[in-house]
Structure formats: structure tokens, C-alpha cells
Amino acid sequence: MKLGAFSISLSVKDLEASKEFYQNLGFSAFAGHIEQNYLIMKNGNALVGLFQGMFEGNILTFNPGWDENAQNLENFEDVREIQKHLKSKNVELTSEADESTSGPASFTLSDPDGNMILIDQHR
């Protein structure tokens, strides 16, 4: 099963301070807008999303259909197929994608320690 590009989405208290911190680690702004309370920071293949006031806790994020440069992959597993596979393994989902649709969709689950995982397909 291929989950696509991986990033961590961090819930931050001060977006500007977090931006500066990650810039000091060699990251640069890749996407997003401070005015919209989020930035995606990139360092090589590593992606860190900084989100202020959008959600609680941190989220492991996978994007089927994208590589780490947010470029479309020619071949990828649709989010609904990934969801069906996990459900067949009796993995409990906290939200589900509508399996009767196509295109953009997402679902969420938590690992055994309560860490939130978002599978988020944008195309």
C-alpha cells in the first residue's frame, strides 16, 4: 500500500515564531499563507505543516497522488482503496471518505497511542 507524500502537521501557538524556528533548521516556506494561519515548510524531502488555531494536537499526514513536491503522481492508490484495505484489516477509522465518490477525499484514524493520522487526497 502506497500512502503518498508524508508530512507532519503541527498545531502551533505562534506561527511566526514556528516559521523562524524551522527556518533556522534549514526549512523554507513551500506553500500556504501566514494570513490564512498556515505554512508548509520544506527541507529536502521533509515537510512540516505549521497550523495556528486550526486543530488540536499534531497530525501525521499522507497525500495519495502527490510526491513530496506536491506534484501529481501518474500511478497511485486512491484514498478509497486505502480505506477499504484498512477496513478489511479491522482498523478503526475516526472519519471516512465516501466510497461512492471519486477525486479529492480524506479519512482519519488514530494509532494505538492516540496519534491522529490523516489520509488526504487532493485530486
Does residue 113 register a pLDDT over 90?
Answer: no
Q: Note the pLDDT tens digit of each residue in 32-71.
A: 999 999 999 999 999 999 999 999 899 999 999 998 888 9
Over residues 95-101, the mean pLDDT reads 97
pTM for this predicted structure: 0.86
Rounded percentage of the chain residues whose pLDDT exceeds 90: 91
Give dist(CA 68, CA 58) in Å, integer: 19
Q: Does residue 9 contact residue 61 with C-beta atoms inside 8 Å?
A: yes
Does residue 27 register a pLDDT over 90?
Answer: yes
Strands 116-121 and 105-110: antiparallel
Q: Which three cell numbers stand for residue 101?
A: 465518490
Instruction: Identify the CATH homologous superfamily for domain 5-121.
Output: 2,3-Dihydroxybiphenyl 1,2-Dioxygenase, domain 1 (3.10.180.10)
**Residue 68's pLDDT is what?**
87
Does residue 21 register a pLDDT over 90?
Answer: yes
